[in-house]
Structure 1
Amino acid sequence: MEERILKSHKISLFNRSSGIISGVKEVISFDPNEIILDTEQGMLMIQGEELHVTKLTVEKGEVEIEGLVYSMVYSDDGYMKGEKGGLLRRLFH
């Protein structure tokens, strides 16, 4: 089995209404009910109400969000195998 070197990834969420996420490689999509991020630890889906990406710092790989957060779910589908698009494949098929 191929070993992966995991890079730093951190989530700080304050009162379920604002947060900072580091280790973000790409913002896949966002709308008021859902934000999908490709992070160093896999795909991350954030669901809630009135969600906004308030700041994106590409150089640092940081995203700041606001809104009411209901859930944060990682998808490891294909992540450990080195495959891309596991979560996206399920969303669009």
Structure 2
Amino acid sequence: MEYQTSYDRPVRDHTLSMDGRKRLDITGVKQVDRFDNEEFLLETSMGFLAVRGHNLQMKNLDVEDGNVSITGRIDDIVYLDQQTVKPKSLIGKLFK
């Protein structure tokens, strides 16, 4: 099944595949909202997804197909409500 984005491009079904908490492959990604070595915030066809951990790195990003691969130590994967997604300010990033 495919989902249409607001940009009229199809997005694949949303799936997560994790290999030993060291690699996470995600499909159905519409956009990468923000990321650093401790947190990724992705907009998927099923809502916003936060991935938290240590030494996180994006190893693959295919915006055409909506695929993202993240490596590092993955501690937490959680879906967020639209209301809980807030942009981090520069001050917030400095004092986290």
Q: What's the TM-score, normalizing by structure 2?
A: 0.74
User: Aligned residues, how many?
Assistant: 80
* Correspondence 1:4-83 to 2 at 5 A: 8-77=13-82
Gaps in structure 1 of 5+ consecutive residues: 79-85
Q: Using the TM superposition, give the Cα deviation of residue 8 of structure 1 relative to its aligned residue in structure 2, in angstroms.
A: 1.5
Deviation beyond 6 Å, 4+ runs, structure 1: none
Query: What residue in structure 1 maps to residue 92 of structure 2?
Result: none
SS in 1 for 2:56: strand
Alpha-carbon distance between aligned partners in 2 of 1:56 and 1:87, rounded to the nearest angstrom: 22
Matched position secondary structure for 2:73 = strand
Q: 2:80 and 2:35 mapped to 1: Cα distance?
A: 16
CA–CA distance in 1 between the matches of 2:61 and 2:28? Answer: 12
Q: How many Å separate the matches in 2 of 1:51 and 1:71?
A: 12
Please give the root-mean-square deviation of Cα atoms over the aligned residues, in Å: 2.1
